[in-house]
């Protein structure tokens, strides 16, 4: 799991214990993902999960899309908050290319009783989102983008079609471990260059209002006007 850049381990523990305890299925997802080793760094932190839940509550989100499901933590956090507000009407559409990672997610969603409210679309998210824009334009409340970084711009453009006015688009990892201020990384690494280009684009994009936050590895928020 990631942790906020610049926070000591003691401060990270303080923040985590100051938040409400995770749902048991979220805690099991985190523990079992940690046991997968290095790859577990892809999972959002508990405080980022609490943040996503608060975002969903602030805009009374009922329908969400997630690009990059992995073992299901952020999707579960989001659907739990939406179900709390909207009951069985809450829906989350998750996009991922990996059957292997997302196969683990289902058991946490089952444990939390939300499996019926999560639709998993396996395949390149560019294609999945293109399909969704045909049928669900303007109907989605919140989109969390946390997959391949070179895809972020394409995901953003599709997300702008999918979300309603006042809908929220969130991008994870916009600090990219600090690489976004390293000139060598920007010129050598396509992921870093894509994240810097996205931040520059959104700074002047009149279709959205934005807040660039430093939570975790950086979460960039864009609210559709
Ligand atoms: C950082 S992880 C997502 C973490 C997840 N949000 C969580 O909190 O546990 C990124 C995920 O994006 C998926 N991914 C990578 N490229 C993709 C693509 N082109 N389309 C859809 N999913 C993709 C990977 O399989 C991986 O599961």
Q: Name the β-bridge partners of 122.
A: 96
pLDDT for 55: 98
The CA 10 to ligand 1 mean position distance, Å, reads 29
The Å distance, Cα 145 to ligand 1 centre, comes to 9
Mean pLDDT (the chain, rounded): 96
pLDDT of residue 1: 57
Q: Which of 97, 170, 195 to mutate to test the pocket of ligand 1 (most atoms within 8 A of CB)?
A: 97
Confirm or reject: Cβ of 148 under 6 Å from ligand 1. Answer: yes
pLDDT digits (tens, 9 = 90+) for 126-175: 999 999 999 999 999 999 999 999 999 999 999 999 999 999 999 999 99
Phi, psi of 96, deg, nearest 5: -160, 155
Expressed in angstroms and rounded, the spacing between residue 59 Cα and the centre of ligand 1 is: 24
Q: Which class is 9-224 in CATH? A: alpha beta
DSSP H helical segments within the chain, as ranges? Answer: 9-18, 24-34, 46-58, 73-86, 99-112, 125-135, 152-162, 183-188, 190-203
Alpha carbon distance 116, 89 (integer Å): 11
* Burial degree of 1 (CB within 10 A; 0-12, 13-18, 19+): middle
Q: How far is the CA of 102 from the centre of ligand 1 (A)?
A: 9
Whether 78 contacts 64, CB under 8 Å = yes
**Reported pTM:** 0.97
pLDDT computed for residue 146 by the predictor: 98
Asked if residue 101 has its Cβ within 6 Å of ligand 1, the reply is yes
How many whole angstroms separate alpha carbon 149 and alpha carbon 194?
6
| Ligand 1 close to Cβ of residue 70 (< 6 A) | yes
Q: At what angle do helices 152-162 and 125-135 cross, to 10 degrees?
A: 10
Ligand 1, atom nearest to 96 Cα: 22
Q: Environment class of residue 161 by beta-carbon count within 10 Å: exposed (0-12), middle (13-18) or buried (19+)?
A: middle
| Per-residue model confidence as pLDDT tens digits over 86-132 | 999 999 999 999 999 999 999 999 999 999 999 999 999 999 999 99
Q: Whose CA is nearest to atom 16 of ligand 1?
A: 148
Q: Could you tell me the residue ranges of all domains in the chain?
A: 9-224
Distance 205 CA to ligand 1 centre (A): 26
């Amino acid at each position: 799991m990631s942790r906020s850049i610049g926070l000591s381990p003691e401060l990270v523990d303080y923040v985590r214990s100051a938040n409400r305890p995770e749902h048991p299925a979220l805690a099991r997802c985190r523990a079992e993902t940690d046991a997968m080793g290095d790859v577990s760094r892809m999972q959002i932190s508990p405080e980022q999960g609490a943040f996503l839940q608060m975002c969903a509550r602030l805009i009374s989100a009922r329908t969400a899309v997630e690009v990059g499901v992995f073992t299901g933590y952020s999707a579960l956090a989001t659907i739990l908050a939406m179900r709390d507000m909207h009951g069985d009407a809450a829906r989350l559409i998750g996009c991922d290319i990996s059957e292997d990672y997302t196969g683990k997610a289902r058991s946490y969603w089952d444990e939390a009783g939300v499996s019926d409210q999560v639709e998993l679309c396996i395949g390149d998210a560019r294609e999945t989102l293109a399909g969704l824009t045909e049928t669900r334009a303007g109907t989605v409340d919140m989109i969390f983008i946390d997959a391949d970084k070179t895809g972020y711009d394409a995901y953003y453009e599709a997300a702008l079609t999918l979300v309603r006015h006042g809908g929220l688009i969130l991008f994870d990892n916009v600090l990219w471990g600090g690489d976004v201020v390293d000139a060598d990384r920007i010129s050598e690494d396509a992921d870093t260059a894509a994240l810097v280009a996205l931040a520059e684009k959104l700074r002047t994009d009149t279709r959205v209002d934005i807040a660039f936050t430093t939570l975790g590895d950086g979460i960039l928020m864009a609210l559709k006007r």
